[in-house]
């Protein structure tokens, strides 16, 4: 008898997510019904937005007690009564924190093969990570050669790609990241022009020193005080790409009191948010470019893999502590065939 292992939501979180907000369940798998597909989960993305999904203000229906924790995953079809999805097919979709997911298959997308790249390239280079960086820089930020671009959470999955894409566009790129090692990595390994360690130095003073002609584009991943500081240095007709606000997600503080919001008016700034789920049509344009840039050595990505479904709730906190080094993913089970593709 095959058992499904799952993490369910045990209570509505208050403040940061904690492992005790989840409860472990093991239950026997039911026989597969007509038209249904059973997928073995290989990997689950761990995303800052996982915390947002508990909020009534989320862009998806809020998670409630008893739900399987939602997660975008990669899996392999194990058993199928749906002729469109044969066993052995590698798929992606919202499978959740569990070892097996069952659906009619309408929520699953067959993953394209990536010749010469590991399956993990889907996490670090493509999917919602690559699409967010691409759409945010190319379509919203639109930096011109020589303009100054600032990126926050710059050593993270989205931020590191966004900064490199802005460099490809010919911009001067300043990254904001936590700690000297992350600052070293984005400048020495990824080609950013300079870095600001927001945990170790005054961000406003550093922005004034490193951006003497102001900031043309700000790719924001964190919100709060860092957004406020950059707004203080934004140029006329500057653009703020609101990709994420990880500093605000756990709803634990009072929220930052902004002092530079009036610059949206005075500097005629455009601030535009987006959610990549609205832009999946971009795959056809963005994926070939991201893959070409990577093949040419101009776009590097990193993944940080946590092993085992049992370790997932504790690992999620690393995104908020800043101890992840690359796209944080959990390996739920292994599949040599899919991993080799």
Q: Which of 44, 76, 121, 155 binds ligand NAP (CB under 6 A)?
A: 155
In angstroms, give the least distance from the CB of 329 to ligand NAP: 10
The residue among 77 and 246 lying less far from ligand NAP, judged by its C-beta, is 246
Stretch in the footprint of ligand NAP (CB under 6 A) among 14-22, 31-39, 126-134, 254-262: 126-134
Considering the rule CB under 6 A, would residue 247 count as an interface residue with ligand NAP? Answer: yes
Q: Please, are residues 124 and 326 in contact by the beta-carbon 8 Å criterion?
A: yes
Cα separation, 206 vs 193, whole angstroms: 13
The residue among 85 and 299 lying less far from ligand NAP, judged by its C-beta, is 299
Cα separation, 65 vs 21, whole angstroms: 9
The residue among 19 and 317 lying less far from ligand NAP, judged by its C-beta, is 317
Stretch in the footprint of ligand NAP (CB under 6 A) among 28-36, 47-55, 80-88, 163-171: 47-55
Stretch in the footprint of ligand NAP (CB under 6 A) among 103-111, 139-147, 242-250, 330-338: 242-250
Considering the rule CB under 6 A, would residue 324 count as an interface residue with ligand NAP? Answer: yes
Cα separation, 91 vs 41, whole angstroms: 9
Q: Which of 49, 50, 80, 260 binds ligand NAP (CB under 6 A)?
A: 49
How does strand 327-331 pair with strand 37-45? antiparallel
The residue among 37 and 245 lying less far from ligand NAP, judged by its C-beta, is 245
Burial class (CB in 10 A: 0-12, 13-18, 19+), 279: middle
**Sites for ligand NAP among residues 170-199 (CB under 6 A):** 177-179, 182
DSSP 143-166: PPTT-EEEEESTTSHHHHHHHHHH
Sign of CA pseudo-dihedral 54, 102, 109, 89: positive
The residue among 162 and 168 lying less far from ligand NAP, judged by its C-beta, is 162
Q: Which long-range contacts (CB under 8 A, 24 or more apart) does 333-340 make?
A: 333/40, 333/41, 333/42, 333/99, 334/42, 335/40, 335/42, 335/76, 337/76, 337/88, 338/42, 338/74, 338/76, 338/90, 338/119, 339/42, 339/118, 339/119
Stretch in the footprint of ligand NAP (CB under 6 A) among 12-20, 44-52, 108-116, 255-263: 44-52
Contacting residues toward ligand NAP, per CB under 6 A:
47-49, 128-129, 132, 153, 155-159, 177-179, 182, 221-222, 243-244, 246-247, 274-276, 319-320, 322, 324, 327
């Amino acid at each position: 008898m095959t058992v499904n292992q799952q993490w369910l939501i045990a209570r509505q979180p208050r403040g940061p997510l904690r492992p005790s907000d989840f409860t472990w369940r093991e239950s026997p798998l039911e026989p597969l019904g007509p038209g249904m597909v059973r997928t073995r989960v290989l990997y689950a993305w761990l995303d800052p937005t996982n915390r947002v999904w508990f909020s009534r203000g989320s862009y998806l229906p809020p998670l409630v007690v008893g739900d399987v924790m939602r997660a975008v995953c990669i899996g392999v079809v194990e058993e199928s009564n749906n002729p469109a999805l044969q066993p052995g097919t590698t798929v992606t979709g919202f499978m959740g924190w569990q070892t097996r997911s069952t659906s009619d298959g309408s929520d699953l997308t067959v993953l394209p093969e990536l010749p010469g790249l590991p399956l993990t390239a889907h996490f670090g280079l493509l999917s919602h990570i690559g699409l967010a960086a691409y759409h945010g820089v190319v379509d919203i930020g639109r930096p011109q050669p020589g303009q100054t671009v600032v990126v926050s959470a710059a050593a993270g999955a989205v931020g590191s790609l966004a900064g490199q894409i802005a460099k490809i566009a010919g911009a001067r790129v300043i990254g904001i990241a936590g700690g000297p090692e992350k600052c070293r990595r984005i400048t020495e390994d990824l080609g950013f022009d300079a870095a600001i360690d927001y945990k170790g130095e005054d961000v406003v003073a550093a922005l004034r020193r490193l951006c003497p002609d102001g900031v043309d584009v700000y790719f924001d991943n964190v919100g709060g005080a860092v957004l406020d500081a950059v707004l203080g240095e934004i140029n006329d007709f500057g653009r703020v790409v609101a990709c994420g606000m990880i500093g605000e997600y756990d709803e634990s503080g009072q929220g930052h009191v902004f002092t530079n919001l009036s610059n949206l008016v005075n500097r005629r700034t455009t601030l535009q948010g987006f959610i990549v789920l609205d832009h999946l049509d971009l795959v056809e344009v963005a994926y070939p470019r991201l893959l070409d840039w990577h093949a040419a050595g101009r776009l590097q990505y990193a993944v940080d893999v946590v092993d085992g479904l049992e370790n997932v709730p504790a690992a999620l906190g690393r995104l908020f502590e800043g101890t992840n080094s690359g796209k944080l993913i959990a390996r739920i089970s292994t599949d040599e065939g899919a991993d080799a593709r």
